[in-house]
Amino acid sequence: TEYGRININSAPRPVLSALPGISDRQIDYLLYWRENTPRRDSLGGPIVFGRLSELLADNSFWTGQPQSVRLSVASRWIGAITFSSCAYTLTTENLPDPPSGPRLASRSKTQAIVSTDGGQDRVVSWRFAQ
């Protein structure tokens, strides 16, 4: 596991959309192939891409864009992506409406460490962050 990196093969749409230069069509492609790929890791999770060279070589992912464009976009992902992981951190924060009336709205933030065990996510620890 490479902590703090986005796993291309398991991150949800909102997380993938944080990658600079990724298109909605590329995200759709990843999500589709997660459900339809026969390749699985040792825990049963999908492997759409096993390494950066596979990602760069996939013409369907890049819709035929030249290698120079692929390298330009993917170079911004170096240090931000990985192709395997067995855990991730999930941060949640409620954003209440502005306080009014006799009760004040409370605001809180929580963090959880989630283990991906054979495709089954399991919270192994959590805490209030604020």
pLDDT digits (tens, 9 = 90+) for 80-124: 999 887 777 788 888 776 666 556 666 788 888 887 766 678 888
Task: Calculate what percentage of the chain has a pLDDT beyond 70.
Answer: 85
Whole-number pLDDT of residue 19: 95
In a domain, 120, yes or no: yes
Same domain, 19 and 46: yes
pLDDT score for 92 = 85
At 103 the pLDDT is 62
User: Which contacts of 15-21 are long-range, i.e. CB under 8 A and separated by 24 or more positions?
Assistant: 19/76, 19/77, 19/80, 19/81, 20/73, 20/76, 20/77, 21/72, 21/73, 21/76
Answer yes or no: is 1 within a domain: no
Domain tally, the chain: 2
Label residues 28-39 b or e (16+ Cβ within 10 Å = b): ebbbebbeeeee
DSSP β-bridge partners for residue 84: none
pLDDT in tens, 21-53: 999 999 999 999 999 988 887 767 788 999 999
Domain extent, residue 27, equals: 6-82
Provide the mean pLDDT of the chain: 85
Same domain, 54 and 25: yes
- Assess whether 16 and 59 both reside in one domain: yes
Q: Residue 111: beta bridge partners?
A: 91, 127
14 & 74 share domain: yes
pLDDT in tens, 7-26: 999 889 999 999 999 999 99
Q: Are 45 and 91 in a shared domain?
A: no
* Residue 117 in tokens: 């065990």
> What's the burial of 66, exposed, middle or buried (CB within 10 Å: 0-12/13-18/19+)?
exposed
User: Is 1's pLDDT higher than 60?
Assistant: no
Residue 75 within a domain: yes
